Amino acid sequence: MIQKILSYDTPRSIALSMLLLCIFAGLALAPFLFPGVRTVDTAARICIFIVLVASYDLLLGYGGIVSFAHTMFFGVGAYSVALTSLHLGRGFDALILGAAIGAVLATCLAAAIGLFSLRVRAIFFAMITLAVASALAVLVSQFSDLTGGEDGLTFKLPRELGPAFKFGQTLFDGTVFGVKLNGKLLTYYLVFGTSLVLFLITLRLVNAPFGRVLQAIRENEFRAEAIGYRVVHYKIAATCLSAAIASCAGALYAIWLRYVGPSTTLSLELMIDILLILVIGGMGTIYGAVIGATLFLLTENYLQAAMGRLTSGIGDIPVVSALLSPDRWLLWMGILFIVSVYCFPKGIVGHFRKDP
């Protein structure tokens, strides 16, 4: 049954299976295992980034297509949800319609970019996607009447997804293991459940015949075309599917934050983070998105605090306390990721996973 859910693409490693199981359990029970605003927020972001990075892995890891426009599709989904919620009111219909519109728009944008650009060499396609993404980011910043400009947009969710909404008062006295049963908890499980479904859909896509053809194109494009596959058609299809899934991830991000802005959904820094997560986890594995996103976001959110505790425990040793100062957490984060890439050139999943 589990093999069928995973599209018969199991981790193929005991260590990797245990790690993935721990991550799944931690995310599924995060509000109860790690109560607190920051920890639950980190868990929700991990869920969303797993989907976002997995969708990019479909494009780069399986199709060999280098694109810098992935955050554009992410932003399209986020802004679609925000705009429909602002204009149609705080209802579930606005959220569903916004997510659907975002997915359609992202697919159309991806198809247009693919039709005009995928026939050129890989580096030129990458530059074209970077230019288009940058242009859209500038337009979003300038059309402040519609998008809020640099300040972004803040919108309201349905009352059932707000912290003021309480449920379970009769059966559980409003709490379970000390955790309040409110709309914020429902929002988290909406994000978790939808992310899980999107991840499994992506996993199914790469293990279907479509995914096998993409791998063949990645390995040798000319040979794939010689045996009858229409390479450009498959590349456009991969770009469109990847864009639609990324747009859904953006919609979830907007729902969780109740805010969208250029810096949170369209920045080049976000694109670099996606690439880094994919390299750390392992390209062409899908499971690499899970490992990479979890490690990256945990490090980003907790490394500085951990270094602060470490320096306070060490004392006043001049050189050591200066090197491990919490102000230098970005330096150590970079060093950790360089070491990770050096030790695991195929990514963490690629290192532990056994060949079928």
pLDDT tens digits, 244-296: 999 999 999 999 999 999 989 998 889 999 999 999 998 988 999 999 999 99
pLDDT of residue 1: 73
The CA distance from 346 to 316, in Å, is 40
Q: What is the DSSP letter of 36?
A: S
Task: Say which residue the tokens 């981790």 belong to.
Answer: 11
* 63-67, 77-81, 286-290, 324-328, range with the lowest pLDDT: 324-328
Q: Is the pLDDT of residue 316 over 70?
A: no
pLDDT of residue 104: 96
Q: What is the mean pLDDT of residues 233-239?
A: 91
pLDDT of residue 191: 96
pLDDT of residue 202: 95
Percentage with pLDDT > 90 across the chain: 46
Cα dihedral across residues 83, 239, 346, 20: positive or negative: positive
Helix crossing, 268-281 with 287-314: angle to 10°? 100
* 317 confidence band (pLDDT: 50, 70, 90): low
Beta strands of the chain (E only): which ranges? 153-154, 175-176, 179-180, 259-260
| Length of the chain counted residue by residue | 356
Q: Is the pLDDT of residue 171 over 70?
A: no
315: left (phi over 0), alpha (psi -120 to 50) or beta: left
Q: Is the pLDDT of residue 97 over 90?
A: yes
* 23 confidence band (pLDDT: 50, 70, 90): very high
Q: What is the DSSP letter of 90?
A: S
Q: Model-level pTM? A: 0.93
pLDDT of residue 124: 79
Q: Across 39-43, 132-136, 321-325, which has the greatest mean pLDDT?
A: 39-43
Residues sharing a CB contact under 8 Å with residue 328, sequence separation 6 or more, in sequence order: 307
| Average pLDDT in the chain | 87
* 303 confidence band (pLDDT: 50, 70, 90): confident
Q: What is the mean pLDDT of residues 63-81?
A: 92
pLDDT of residue 52: 96
Domains and CATH numbers, the chain: 27-284 (1.10.3470)
Residue-wise pLDDT tens digits, 123-170:
778 888 888 898 998 999 888 888 888 888 999 999 989 888 887 766
Higher model confidence: residue 320 or residue 40? 40
pLDDT of residue 356: 58
pLDDT of residue 24: 95
Residue-wise pLDDT tens digits, 191-201:
999 999 999 99
Higher model confidence: residue 74 or residue 176? 74
7: left (phi over 0), alpha (psi -120 to 50) or beta: left
Number of C-beta neighbours around residue 174 at 10 A: 14
Residues sharing a CB contact under 8 Å with residue 286, sequence separation 6 or more, in sequence order: 9, 54, 57, 58, 61, 199, 202, 203, 206
Number of C-beta neighbours around residue 37 at 10 A: 8
Q: Is the pLDDT of residue 108 over 80?
A: yes
